[in-house]
Structure formats: structure tokens, C-alpha cells
Amino acid sequence: MNYEMDYNNAMTYLHGLYRFGSRLGLGRVRRLATLLGNPEKRFPSIHVTGTNGKGSTTAMVARGLQEAGYRVGMYISPFLQEFEERISINGRNIPRERVADLASTVRTAVDRMLEEGHEHPTEFEFITAMAFLYFAEEGIDFASVEVGMGGRYDATNIVTPAVSVITKIGFDHTDRLGNTLAKIAYEKAGIIKKGVPVVTSPQLPEAMGIISQAAEDNDSRLVRVGEDVSWTEIASSLDGQTIDLNGLGARYEGLEIALLGRHQQVNAATALSALEVLVSQGVNIPESAIRAGLSRVIWPGRLEAVSRSPVVVLDGAHNQDGARALAAAIREILPHDRVIMVMGILADKAVDDILSELIPPADEVIVTVPNSPRALQAEKLADRVRRYPATVHVKPRISDAVDLGLRLTGPRDLLCVTGSLYLIGEARSKLEGFFQRDRNMN
């Protein structure tokens, strides 16, 4: 059957695929891709996995290639405000009419799968097929692809990339990936392909050992950021940061990074190393493009300052390492007299570990509920936050929580919205409207 869905029909259909859950394995997505003509083979890709920093690194790689004059697709998850953010080319989100057309095409292929006796693909597998088909039809030069979860059995792992990238590995999705760092690293290292170079961020020894062995087993060149590539911080503030970096093939003095937080220096070095590996493969990426890519990249909702007076920051810190990075930024670069925090967390996260990092810097915490069926209810989260000295407020609706946060935040205070990317999107829309109205009134 051939489908002709409009955008609203397509979104209703896609949301309905959530019922198929998250099932590991590549059989379904491989068959789906085959029925679509294997679009993933029609463009070179950079494949990025990790626990923290993989989205930022994906965006930096994409922007660097774009600044070099290439047409670059980027596939990420989740989205913050609009579904179309997940699939973009040179920073432009996929048009809604293409979402509808691609969903119709992929749905027809799914019907063929079911007729053949295959299982129904998951939501993520379906959307991954849409993204790869879009990139192929648009004739992109490169795709910068972020995994959804893990790596080995992630739907995106049907690509054979030009370079594989592994950002910092920590504890997240332990119910699916394993409860030790070695098990998680094993799943992440599953993106390493025969003969394909690998760039890894600095890792704890347990994870690095797994990655090194996987690279050796696959005869893949391994670039270790922090060893093969090193840098020195020159400046780090609310205005961005500057480093001097010794790369694989060049020294970059006064390298400017638009994204905030010292953890982004690691991500920038990792992204730059991936671009240098492409250069070694004959891809033309001038130093000026690398510099422009890092200094112009935009990555919403990740230590994003949406106001300077007062300072208002959005950061989707959703695990302990992410929370630790945010807490460090609050101490080191975000000016404040008091810290007001709007927070919502998913129930399947390591809630107490996240709170142990995020709550100590906070003076007042407004607990809310992220837009996810997996969200921890506000009162349950509030009970755990009350173990700390901070004053606790409960506002289950995100809009109400942001309103209260704005009222409590003085001109010299810091308002921080955090805990889950499923909270950030609605909060970002609310804050954009508030500060736009405030500017118009003045």
C-alpha cells in the first residue's frame, strides 16, 4: 500500500511507534534500509557515540565540514522544540513536507517487511531510515551522525563511516548497556569498523582498555585525545573559551570555542581530531574552516545562556557526569549571587547521583516534570531534593516552574533549568517568549 500522509498524520503515526519500545538489534533496520535502496551507503559519514558530549561533538564536526564548503547532514536525538531538529542539512531543519513524504515512503517499506514476516521496526529505527533516505535524496557530501543509545546495536550502526568517534563514556542507560564501565564501553566500541580510524576522548582506564582492544581487533588507527592531541586553556568565561591546541597535523593557537564549559574543550579537541583524520584521508578542510566551525557552532540546550541579565542557562544534564560538568560551570564561569534551579528528571536515571552534583550549588530548587512518560513525578523528586539544605518548591507544569524561577531570580542571580532534555524544549520556548516580550516593552 502506498501512503500519502500530511505532516500531522506523519507525526501521529511516528508517535504511535513508541509502543514498539526500544529493542536492540540491527536486523530490522538493515532490512528496512535494504528495501529503501540502502541510502546509508550513498554518502560518507562520521559516526559519534559516547555517554556525554556526543551531541556537541556531532554538531562541531558538522559545522567544521559546512564551513569547508560541504553540504552536511546531521542526525541527532532527541529534539528540543521541534521534531525537525533531529534531521538537518547545513543547519536547516528538514522541511515538514519532506517529513510527511519520507514517513509515507518508509511506512510503505515497513508494510513489505511485515509481509515478509519481519518484526515491526521501532520508532528510532523508522526515523533513522527517514534521515538516511533524506540525506541520500538530497545528495549531501557528508553526514555527522549521533547514535541514539550505545552503539553496537544502535540503528545508526548500519553505516560504515569514514571515521568513528567515541566521546567520554560514563554510566547511563545501564539497564540496556550494562552496569559496569567495561560493559558500557564494549557496547559503545561496537561502532568501530574494520580499518576505519577511531578518535576517542579521554577515558577512564577500564573504558580505554576496551576501546583500544576493539581498535586493534579491527586494525583501526586509534587517536587518543589527551595523548595524541593536547591543549592548554587560555580563557574560559560566559563569553566562550580559547585554547591553544596541538593537533595531529598542526598547532592551533588562539582556537575559539563558542560552546560554554570546560568539558567543551574536550569535545572540541575530539571534533577537531576527527576533522584532521578526514584531512589525512584527502578531504579538503582548511584550518580556517576548522576554526570557524568551532567558533560558530550552535548547540541549544547544552549550557546555553539565553539571557545575561539575569544570567539564565539551559542545560540538559541527565546523568552524573553531565551534572558534574554543569556544577563546575556554575562554580567557574557563571556569575551569581544566588542559584535558582528549575529541575525535572526521568525516573529511570540515576537520580540520587545527579542530585549529589546539582543540588549543592543551588539556593532554591523548583521541581517540575519533564515531557516524557518516563518522568519522575514532582513530589517524589521533591522528597529526594529535600535531603539537601536548598529551599524546595513544587510546580509540576514546566511553564509554572519557569514562571516561578523568573520571579525568584534577582538581577545578580543565576537561573538554571536542568535535569533532562525533555524539560529543556518547553522551558526554552517559554524563556524565548519572556525575554522577547521584555525587550519589546523596553
Residue 442 reports pLDDT greater than 80:
no
First to last CA, the chain: 57
User: What would you report as the CA-atom Rg of the chain, rounded to the nearest whole angstrom?
Assistant: 21
pLDDT given for residue 440 in this prediction: 44
Please report the sign of the dihedral spanned by the C-alpha atoms of residue 395, residue 366, residue 86, residue 221: negative
pLDDT tens digit sequence for 325-365: 999 999 999 999 999 999 999 999 999 999 999 999 999 99
Q: What are 113's three cell numbers?
A: 517487511
Cis amide bond preceding 300, omega within 30: no
pLDDT tens digit sequence for 185-206: 999 999 999 999 999 999 999 9
Buried b (16+ CB within 10 A) or exposed e, 307-339: beebbbbbbbbbbbbbbbbbbbbbeebbebeeb
pLDDT given for residue 171 in this prediction: 77
pLDDT tens digit sequence for 109-142: 999 999 999 999 999 999 999 999 999 999 999 9
Return the number of other C-beta atoms located less than 10 Å from residue 228's C-beta.
15
* Topology alike, domains 7-296 and 304-435: no
Strand 414-418 relative to strand 311-315: parallel, antiparallel, unpaired?
A: parallel
User: Where does 7-296 sit in CATH, by number?
Assistant: 3.40.1190.10
Cis amide bond preceding 78, omega within 30: yes
Tell me which residue of 299, 316, 311, 201 sits closest to 258, measured CA to CA.
299
pLDDT given for residue 20 in this prediction: 86
pLDDT given for residue 174 in this prediction: 59
Q: How sure is the predictor about 170, in pLDDT bands with cuts at 50, 70 and 90?
A: confident
- Residues 46, 23: Cα–Cα separation, whole Å: 24
Return the number of other C-beta atoms located less than 10 Å from residue 45's C-beta.
23
- Residues 423, 283: Cα–Cα separation, whole Å: 39
Q: How sure is the predictor about 176, in pLDDT bands with cuts at 50, 70 and 90?
A: low
Residue 433 reports pLDDT greater than 80:
no
To the nearest whole number, what is the mean pLDDT of the chain?
Answer: 94
- Residues 256, 290: Cα–Cα separation, whole Å: 10
pLDDT given for residue 70 in this prediction: 98
Q: How sure is the predictor about 318, in pLDDT bands with cuts at 50, 70 and 90?
A: confident
φ, ψ for residue 6 (rounded to 5)? -90, 180
Contact in structure between 258 and 296 (CB atoms under 8 Å) = yes
Residue 439 reports pLDDT greater than 50:
no
Residue 172 reports pLDDT greater than 80:
no
Q: Which residues contact 99 (CB under 8 A, 6 or more apart)?
A: 7, 10, 11, 83, 84, 130
**Average pLDDT over every residue of 3-17:** 92
Strand partners, 246: 230, 251
User: Where does 304-435 sit in CATH, by number?
Assistant: 3.90.190.20
- Residues 106, 128: Cα–Cα separation, whole Å: 10
Strand boundaries in 271-407, DSSP class E: 304-308, 311-315, 339-343, 364-367, 391-394
Residue 441 reports pLDDT greater than 50:
no
pLDDT tens digit sequence for 203-248: 999 999 999 999 999 999 999 999 999 999 999 999 899 999 999 9
pLDDT given for residue 434 in this prediction: 73
The sheet carrying 311-315 orders its strands as 304-308, 311-315, 414-418, 339-343, 364-367, 391-394
pLDDT given for residue 34 in this prediction: 98
Q: Which residues contact 378 (CB under 8 A, 6 or more apart)?
A: 344, 367, 368, 369, 394, 395, 396
pLDDT given for residue 109 in this prediction: 97
Tell me which residue of 341, 435, 436, 344 sits closest to 397, measured CA to CA.
344
**Could you give the 3-state DSSP secondary structure of residue 416?**
strand
Residue 53 reports pLDDT greater than 80:
yes
**Average pLDDT over every residue of 249-272:** 96
Distance of CA 268 to the CA centre of its chain: 14
The residue ranges of every structural domain in the chain are: 7-296, 304-435
DSSP 8-state symbol, 373: T
Return the number of other C-beta atoms located less than 10 Å from residue 144's C-beta.
28
Strand 142-146 relative to strand 45-49: parallel, antiparallel, unpaired?
A: parallel
pLDDT tens digit sequence for 300-313: 999 999 998 899 99
pLDDT tens digit sequence for 357-412: 999 999 999 999 999 889 999 999 999 999 999 999 999 999 999 999 999 999 99
